Structure 1
Amino acid sequence: MKMMKWGASALALGLVHFAAPAEAAGGKTLETVKARGMLNCTGHDGSYLGFAEVDDKGNWKGMDIDLCKAVAAAVFGDPAKLKVVPISWAQRWPALQSGDVDIIVKASGGTLSRDTELGLQFSMSYYLGTTKVMAHKELNLKSLKDAAGGTICIPAGTSQEQQVAAYTAKLGIKLEPVLIEKTEELEQAYFSGRCDLYAQWGPTLAIARIAKSKVDDHVILPDVLAVEPEVMIMRQGDDNWVDIANWTLSTLIFAEQEGITSKNVDEIKAKPTSPQVAKFLGVTPG
């Protein structure tokens, strides 16, 4: 899915009155959000390029932020009715369970333990990512197995901790983990040489390699530690809230597939390109 189109598609949600599902018999989260008049959605405690970052005007942007705006548009018909709450990776679950945020949209995977142990519920997947490892090129590593005995920076409070442990056990090697919560501090530890390796979500490694170093000084090893679908995450027992998240994603996917954005929605609504588009935009019932 093309990240750059999602912001425009999110704005289109309000125009096509996708808020209809929010008018159904609501769950507790929906009632709370509507009473507050604002959706509280996760941000990042720093800059997470491409997904959740603050621009030079102080505005949040990125793929995950666009999805937060889309959910706000689904509920209120207005993507601006959104409060972005900056949190770390480890703060995600306490923030959701305490009610500080209504939904987690923060490059987070839907895992069995998060479902059964933390009592979380997931939307359909909006991104499929892999966990990879970056290494200093000067170490001349061909694969992770060559790094036995080295140090590896891992984001604390994430599924990468378990993934590294499981993968290294499979290889029969031991690495010394360096667990750091904040992404900026984690990357500083790796790029300063404190760690030989850096385990992270693949897109995050690619962004860090380009943005914070001389690209040729670092290599992303071929090992794939895990494949994880990224999802929006909610508390269990509020199926209507999950429905809103899923239909928001379905609407974004259909809008992008049909080339519908906030800039051309009125034009397409006046002259739908297909019966499906006519129904989607409310021109015909169904």
Structure 2
Amino acid sequence: MSSTTYGLMAAAALAAIGSTASAESGDTLAAVKERGNLLCTGHDGSYLGFAEVDDQGEWQGMDIELCRAVTTAIFGDPSHLTVIPISWAQRWPSLQTGEVDMVIKASGATLSRDTELGMQFSLSYYLGTTKIMAHKELGLSTLADADGGTVCIPAGTTIQQQIAAYASKLGIELEPVLIEKTEELEQAYFSGRCDLYAQWGPVLAIARTAKSSVEDHDILPDVLAVEPEVIVMRPGDDNWIDIANWTLSALWFAEQEGINSENVDEIKADPPSPVVAKFLGESPGMGTPLGLEDDWAYNVIKNVGNYAEIFDRTLGEGSPYQMDREMTALWNDGGVLYPYVID
């Protein structure tokens, strides 16, 4: 995709903002409740570990589980979720025109998305690095050794700017091959069309494991960027942003307190503290300020699990990808995630 095309798409999103009024606080929740389902983004293909369709035709992955968590917070169970497949480039127009209620699609919080496109962000639910994978036969030690090479880049993402800036910093030239669909992008790299593959680190690790022999490819040590992945929403509806943030916080609080989908009923029946009692809806106050039922967090943990459970089955030890939490661990386990305080 050329810079001109990317600019036109950004202009189209800006035009959509101009023609779409900002949501008033509480309007989105009211509309979702009246409709009876949450419209949340999926992927237009497969983004392994984050949004993919299994052998039974069901959506799975970290991003999909977070869509289910928000749905459960609102309706009490995840069955009211409708996943809308959307390309990277169509995320913002689809959000602004109301085709989706929120974007949970491995999307980073950036200055331009905030100040130019007018998006609003949740807390970061995943902190990942942008890295480069290379065919081992090229014998590259770092990206500096790849001068003149071709690099496959997901079109319409911040990675396009990250690779350009990093290459300029190194004083090398790389020929970009811009492809929007992840499957086509990976096919281009693994077939040898590109020397390099620039992508979010977790996606590279998953692709190397799922699509080839690990020994045939090197993930170079260069870190192009660190990007916080967030839930993205339309501007102006503080209540909707609160619901997204408190849903994420509930997943982390439950993990921090050792509350999971298997023991939540037992803990709810005999809460160890007033804070946990409030969190699980045994005492009032957790839901009314958000426009939700007081037991919404209990429903989320019972139906979806805490953050550790979600990570394990989508990306970690319970998944085919066997990824470590790394920075995306709780604060008390060497990571950067932490829950809000319940008072």
Q: In the aligned structure 2, how far is the partner of 1:208 from the partner of 1:199?
A: 12
Higher mean Cα deviation, 249-258 or 187-196? Answer: 249-258
Q: In the aligned structure 2, how far is the partner of 1:170 from the partner of 1:237?
A: 38
Aligned residue in 2 for 1:194: 193
Q: RMSD value over aligned CA atoms?
A: 1.3
Q: In the aligned structure 1, how far is the partner of 2:271 from the partner of 2:239?
A: 30
- Distance change (3 Å), C-alpha of 1:176 and 1:203: same
Q: In the aligned structure 2, how far is the partner of 1:120 from the partner of 1:248?
A: 19
- How do 1:44-63 and structure 2 match up within 5 A? 44-63=43-62
Aligned residue in 2 for 1:232: 231
Aligned residue in 2 for 1:22: none
Q: In the aligned structure 1, how far is the partner of 2:47 from the partner of 2:259?
A: 27
TM-superposed deviation, 1:273: 2.4
Aligned residue in 2 for 1:120: 119
TM-superposed deviation, 1:152: 0.4
Other structure's SS at 2:161 match: helix
Other structure's SS at 2:82 match: strand
Please give the per-residue CA displacement for 1:50-99, whole angstroms capped at 9, x wherever unaligned: 11111111111111111001111111122110000111212211211121
Other structure's SS at 2:228 match: strand
TM-superposed deviation, 1:174: 0.9
Aligned residue in 1 for 2:244: 245
Q: In the aligned structure 2, how far is the partner of 1:285 from the partner of 1:217?
A: 56
Counterpart residue type for residue 173 of structure 2? K
Please give the per-residue CA displacement for 1:159-189, whole angstroms capped at 9, x wherever unaligned: 0001011111111111000000000000000
Structure possessing the higher relative contact order (Cα contacts under 8 Å, 6 or more residues apart): 1
Q: In the aligned structure 1, how far is the partner of 2:187 from the partner of 2:81?
A: 31
Q: In the aligned structure 2, how far is the partner of 1:157 from the partner of 1:173?
A: 22
Aligned residue in 2 for 1:214: 213
Maintained 8 Å contact 2:132/2:198: yes
Matched residue pairs, number?
262
- Distance change (3 Å), C-alpha of 1:255 and 1:87: same
- How do 1:95-114 and structure 2 match up within 5 A? 95-114=94-113
TM-superposed deviation, 1:285: 4.2
Aligned residue in 1 for 2:293: none
Aligned residue in 1 for 2:128: 129
TM-superposed deviation, 1:145: 0.8
- How do 1:10-29 and structure 2 match up within 5 A? 26-29=25-28
Counterpart residue type for residue 251 of structure 1? A
Q: In the aligned structure 2, how far is the partner of 1:32 from the partner of 1:283?
A: 28
Q: In the aligned structure 2, how far is the partner of 1:285 from the partner of 1:38?
A: 25
Please give the per-residue CA displacement for 1:223-275, whole angstroms capped at 9, x wherever unaligned: 00000111000011111110110011111111122222333222111111233
Q: In the aligned structure 2, how far is the partner of 1:227 from the partner of 1:171?
A: 18
Aligned residue in 1 for 2:77: 78
Q: In the aligned structure 2, how far is the partner of 1:58 from the partner of 1:156?
A: 27
The percentage of counterpart residues that share the same residue type is 77
The structure that is strand-richer by fraction is: 1
Structure 1's unaligned 5+ residue stretches are: 1-24
Q: In the aligned structure 2, how far is the partner of 1:111 from the partner of 1:77?
A: 32
Other structure's SS at 2:272 match: coil
Q: In the aligned structure 1, how far is the partner of 2:26 from the partner of 2:271?
A: 34
How high is the TM-score relative to the length of structure 1?
0.89
Aligned residue in 2 for 1:168: 167
Q: In the aligned structure 2, how far is the partner of 1:275 from the partner of 1:37?
A: 33
Counterpart residue type for residue 172 of structure 1? G
Other structure's SS at 1:260 match: coil
Q: In the aligned structure 1, how far is the partner of 2:41 from the partner of 2:47?
A: 12
How high is the TM-score relative to the length of structure 2?
0.74
Aligned residue in 1 for 2:336: none
TM-superposed deviation, 1:28: 2.5
Verify: 1:94 aligned to 2:76, yes or no: no
TM-superposed deviation, 1:118: 1.0
Other structure's SS at 1:80 match: helix
Aligned residue in 2 for 1:64: 63
Other structure's SS at 1:261 match: coil
Aligned residue in 1 for 2:42: 43
Counterpart residue type for residue 92 of structure 2? W
TM-superposed deviation, 1:282: 2.3
Structure 2's unaligned 5+ residue stretches are: 1-23, 286-343
Please give the per-residue CA displacement for 1:13-45, whole angstroms capped at 9, x wherever unaligned: xxxxxxxxxxxx953322221121110001112
Structure 1 runs, 4 residues or longer, greater than 3 Å off:
none
